[in-house]
Structure 1
């Protein structure tokens, strides 16, 4: 297994550059906001971060590919590609809610091998690289993190996105089957819920609709913390349009609940 120490150091530099831009623009009265074709917002901070990170990568890794939310690009099954989300949680960012982060991942031959998630207004940064574990730095210092040991779904703490996204992109019944089975559920949303799974603070995070840049960094973070990451059908992929992260112990039962919910919905439609 190759070492990614140098790539991880570079990812930290990229995150530092991003943080300097996002923290300066957070709450700015002249923040420029536009709408993309999918009606999601993009701010001048989003584009400035991606441009700055791309410029650094052009200097340091000119032979690597880059795929980002704002400037495009694609990943492939061969070679190395840096996958960027300049601000994950843009709606929070533009409304003054401090829960947002820059996500940076290195994907090698189709698999995320380095993940860096920096949330400066939360005072937290998470990172992981293949075979080297998962880590967080906060006010208490730097430490290795691991997933929880909760093994019963009725004891599980779940985070999901809002019900409307499940109804539109997946299955309302699947959402209800999973949430009803768990002890507690919240919608921490975006990157944070997957980081909380990696830390062991919650046990499952599920999203009905994601883009590759939303979860590439989360995949390596969760798996290096001892958990499991897949799409909602169980494929261990970050680029299939949905995401399920867990402590591993609960993954199979969560997938079964989601499948059962979809099956019931399909039978109801055809009855």
Structure 2
């Protein structure tokens, strides 16, 4: 089955959202930052991105629409958020106007409803869009990496994914960066169709592949920027077992999946602390972007990720990503390190 129409809509929605986010990041104001219950900051761009993506997808697929997304409008309906909501409304309408495809002006209430249309629970039946409107909010706030991550589930399987990474260089992130480097990448993949990358400005796409490195000593690895999201000490132990000499590349968001899909690094380890439950929007798009580029994504027990169980990925310990040749070695090192850690407690 072809998902070409859905992929085109997803690319359009994510690109529009990326433009809005770029605009906000350039002029980040203190009043744009709120706090969530988990204390991670959320911004006007986060909500605006979700509203835009929801609007575009509902215009393209009005009869069959289900969205599993991170945000809701609860905090935006409080009096203290009025200024933020007004600014977000203007940003969303400006973004739609600049695109030229939609001659519409949305009211604040319209936008809040589009945000709230992301309340689906997902599951194994039917089709569900899965969105993280800004993955890597802390990276966004500090001017680092973030991604707009959008995927489509069909009967519980990820069938397409788009990662818009506004700050990711078009060349390898491992190269020496200069302020003049072009940034802004759009990665996209459809099941059975490979993975492609193009500049966010929409110019021509190129097919990408994960690295062919077979010797772990020559590999480099990605991990989360925030130690809260992954145990850096455990990653170091695993890297030592593999003989990896390069220091870890720590960046925020699913931009890591995009960078890995084009061969910037060979391994990504996400080993969160006990009690943390991974959410499907943090991995759905990135997972297919890597697997269609020839990579392998499993939990720490070697099981493929199961996106059919609702909003959460209930998995063993963490997530490991690499190419087919390195996966047996990585898996062995992960299991040994986890067993050593357990026996030392």
* TM-score above 0.5, yes or no: yes
Structure 2 contact 9–56 (Cα < 8 Å) conserved: no
CA contact (8 A) 1:200 1:247 kept: no
Question: Does the Cα contact within 8 Å between 1:197 and 1:247 map onto a contact in 2?
Answer: no
Relative to structure 1, the CA distance from residue 222 to residue 257 in structure 2 (aligned partners, 3 Å threshold; closer, same or farther) is: same
Question: Using the alignment, how far apart are the partners of 1:29 and 1:222 within structure 2?
Answer: 31
Counterpart for residue 319 of structure 2 = 243
Q: How many residue pairs were aligned?
A: 263
| CA offset digits 1:55-100 (Å, max 9, x no partner) | 2222322423211111343221121110101111211212233x22
Q: Does 1:133 align with 2:209?
A: no
Q: How does 1:141-160 map to 2 (within 5 A)?
A: 141-160=204-223
Given the two structures, how large is their TM-score scaled by the length of structure 1?
0.89
Moved more, 201-210 or 235-244: 235-244
Determine the structure 1 residue equivalent to 2:71. 70
**Where in structure 1 are there 5+ consecutive unaligned residues?**
none
- Structure 2 unaligned regions, length at least 5: 73-118, 168-182, 273-277, 308-312
Give the secondary-structure state (helix, strand or coil) at the position aligned to 2:254: helix
Which residue is equivalent to 1:18? 17
Whole-angstrom CA distance in 2 between matches of 1:166 and 1:25? 28
- Residue 102 of structure 1 and its aligned partner are, at CA, apart by 0.7
Alpha-carbon distance, 1:23 to partner: 1.9
Q: Report Cα offsets for 1:139-160 as digits up to 9, x if no partner.
A: 8842000111111222211111
- Asked if structure 2 preserves the Cα contact closer than 8 Å seen for 1:163 and 1:175, the reply is no
TM-score by length of 2: 0.71
Q: Distance in 1 between matches of 2:47 and 2:230?
A: 29
Shift of 1:29: 4.4
Match of 1:123 among 163, 184, 207: 184
The within-5 A match list for 1:24-63 is 24-30=23-29, 32-62=32-62, 63=64
1:126 and 1:166 map into 2 onto residues whose CA distance is 24
Q: How far apart in 1 are the matches of 2:324 and 2:195?
A: 15
User: What is the Cα-based RMSD across aligned positions, in Å?
Assistant: 2.0
- SS in structure 2 of the partner of residue 235 of structure 1: coil
Partner of 1:214: 282
In structure 2, the residue matched to 1:254 is 330
Higher alpha-carbon deviation: 157-166 or 123-132: 157-166
Query: Which of 187, 202, 218 is equivalent to 2:250?
Result: 187
SS in 1 for 2:205: strand
Looking at structure 1, the residues matched to 3 and 123 of structure 2 have their Cα atoms a distance apart, in angstroms, of 19
Q: Which residue of 1 aligns with 2:340?
A: 264
3-state secondary structure, aligned to 1:187: strand
